[in-house]
Amino acid sequence: MLLNLTEVESGYDDLQILWGINLSVAAGKVTAIAGPNGAGKSTLLKTIVGTIPLNSGKIEFDGKDVSKQSQSKRLRQGISFVPEGRLLFDDLTVYENLRLAAYMVGQDRSEFTVNLEKVLKLFPEINTWIQVLAGRLSGGQQQIVAVARAIVRSPRLILLDEPSVGLAPMVIQRIGDQLQKMKDSGIGVLIAEQNVQWLENVADEVVILTGGRITDNVSPKMLGSREFLRKAYLSV
């Protein structure tokens, strides 16, 4: 497995959010985390990427224990994060946002040029915005750039936090198409998402997170069923 979490617990100061999380993500697969608001989905992704420290447990990436590594070191090892709200630098151009992302993982200009070409093949529309300030883009355009920013780092694992929020169906479909291409290229993908209809088409497996605990693992085919809704949103 590309990513393994063993009995992971974390939270904010004295408030513990996650309890005994055991989770694996394989290379070339899309794993989705479903559950109600406040279940701990964002906290789980931030714990994996290193913005929230562990209280206990272990995080292994590519067979190495990264539990005590900084966020920047995890980033350089190949874990990219697309946060909810995108968090682009609004006063920088799209090109500058992408170049900065590559610089943060130690890419030189030639490496960045190669990776940028790959990104522009996935999202050719970015060519139109490449010299536009990120703050002037629409929400859908910014989300595409945020995903491109993760890809330009040439990651092995991408974490996405609620990538479909507030987006038009056409944009959501575009992102889903690119997730399939990432998966086909061997990248592991972990998504925290509430749009279960979309997940049904992009996920290989779904874990249900409620009350900070993983309560079940279900097939994507179950996502539209009453049984899934009961387990994911009506459990106490």
The rounded distance, in Å, linking the Cα atoms of 52 and 84 is 15
Residue 170's pLDDT band (boundaries 50, 70, 90)? confident
Query: Both ends of the chain: CA-CA distance in Å?
Result: 31
Give how far Cα 26 sits from Cα of 4, 30, 69, 82, Å: 9, 8, 21, 19
> CA angle at residue 175 from 170 to 181, to 5 degrees?
130
Domain spanning 1-78+156-236, CATH architecture: 3-Layer(aba) Sandwich (3.40)
Q: Is 5 helix (H, G, I), strand (E, B) or coil?
A: strand
Stretch(es) of the chain classified as CATH 3.40.50.300: 1-78+156-236
pLDDT, tens digit, 9 for 90 and up, residues 129-152: 999 999 999 988 998 999 999 999
* 206 sits in which H/E element: strand 205-210
At 181-219, the pLDDT tens digits run 888 889 999 999 888 888 888 999 999 999 999 998 888
Per-residue pLDDT, 179: 87
What pTM does this model have? Answer: 0.90
**What is the rounded CA–CA span in Å between residue 16 and residue 146?**
29
What confidence score (pLDDT) does residue 173 get? 87
